[in-house]
Amino acid sequence: MSEQWTFYFEPDKCIGCHACSVACDVQNDRVDDDNWRNLRHEPTGSFPDYEETAVSSACFHCGDAPCEKVCPTGAITKRESDGIVTVDQDKCIGCHYCGWACPYGAPTYNPDNDGKMSKCHLCLGEGEGDGHGKPPREEQDGDNTPNCVDNCVTDALHAGPVSEMMELASEAAVERFVNGNRRALIEPVEPDSGGD
Ligand code: SF4
Ligand code: SF4
Ligand code: SF4
């Protein structure tokens, strides 16, 4: 495999503005309740030092891709060229196994799409991947930065080859990423001490 691509996210820089998730919806024709990129508000700390931290997440294109392992039809592929995990819509039977296997709830099932699975493909193409009359993904290879990253207003969200992302990240984030089967490269969140 040439080098695996991944996302890198810095919660401390994120202001929860949703520009990334809206940019994803626009680029990939997503509709309500079928979003590929979501913004969650995670609780950190405890009362009285309780806070909420915005976390922007989509499919992380995991190093070990648990979704691929459980797919009974071979619809999910982790690409040799760049590690991007894609779904062949023609092979998917909508069994939901991948959704149960994914630790991040990344796969979505759109009733308007026969309940088939779709998810972030790092902006390889438009729409939901193969089988939708769009250009084959093989014709769309390239180093293009995904739309969510391009539209992040605070530089909290990055994407690129793993080695470049690991250079940007802190030691703690890299250690967690490597020990976690190279899934999510996210800076740990430290609750505010409440001091000055
Ligand atoms: S984040 Fe979920 S859908 Fe994406 S590669 Fe990992 S297990 Fe699969
Ligand atoms: S829902 Fe589709 S992509 Fe997911 S495991 Fe089942 S057949 Fe594979
Ligand atoms: S665009 Fe950037 S700052 Fe805004 S919610 Fe997304 S990751 Fe956070």
Residue 76 lies in a domain: yes
105: confidence class by pLDDT, cuts 50, 70, 90: very high
Q: Is 16 in the pocket of ligand 3 (CB under 6 A)?
A: yes
**Whose atoms come closest to the Cα of 87: which ligand?**
2
Q: How far is the CA of 196 from the centre of ligand 3 (A)?
A: 26
Residue 153 lies in a domain: yes
Residue 194 lies in a domain: no
47-51, 79-83, 84-88 — most confident range: 84-88
Q: Is 157 in the pocket of ligand 3 (CB under 6 A)?
A: yes
State both tokens at 110: 């759109």
Q: Is 153 in the pocket of ligand 3 (CB under 6 A)?
A: yes
Residue 156 lies in a domain: yes
- Protein residue with least CA distance to atom 5, ligand 2: 71
Residue 189 lies in a domain: no
The arithmetic mean of pLDDT across residues 110-121, rounded, is 83
Ligand 1: atom nearest CA of 66 is: 7
Where do the H-state alpha helices sit in the chain? 19-28, 66-70, 97-101, 147-150, 162-168, 171-179
Give the CATH number of the domain where residue 83 resides.
Answer: 3.30.70.20
Q: Which residues of 67-83 are buried (b: 16+ CB within 10 A; e: fewer)?
A: bbebbeeebbbbbeebb
Could you say which DSSP state residue 190 is in? P
Q: Which amino acid is at 107?
A: P
Best CA proximity match to 2, nearest among 77, 59, 79, 85: 79
Could you say which DSSP state residue 77 is in? E
So what's the pLDDT on residue 1? Answer: 55
Task: For residue range 29-80, list pLDDT tens digits in order.
Answer: 888 778 999 999 888 777 777 888 899 999 999 999 999 999 999 999 998 8
Counted domains in the chain: 1
Q: What pTM was computed for the model?
A: 0.87
Residue 68 lies in a domain: yes
The arithmetic mean of pLDDT across residues 166-185, rounded, is 97
Q: Is 19 in the pocket of ligand 3 (CB under 6 A)?
A: yes
Residue 127 lies in a domain: yes
Q: How far is the CA of 70 from the centre of ligand 1 (A)?
A: 11
Residue 91 lies in a domain: yes
State both tokens at 168: 């940007």
- Protein residue with least CA distance to atom 7, ligand 2: 92
Q: Residue 122: which domain range?
A: 3-177
Identify the residue with better confidence: 82 or 75.
Answer: 75
State both tokens at 108: 């979505």
Q: How far is the CA of 168 from the centre of ligand 2 (A)?
A: 34
Ligand 3: atom nearest CA of 23 is: 1
- Protein residue with least CA distance to atom 6, ligand 1: 62
Is 193 a residue whose pLDDT tops 70? no
Ligand 2: atom nearest CA of 109 is: 1
Q: How far is the CA of 168 from the centre of ligand 1 (A)?
A: 22
Q: Which residues pair with 39 in a beta bridge?
A: 56
Identify the residue with better confidence: 182 or 3.
Answer: 182
State both tokens at 30: 């997503």
Identify the residue with better confidence: 184 or 48.
Answer: 184
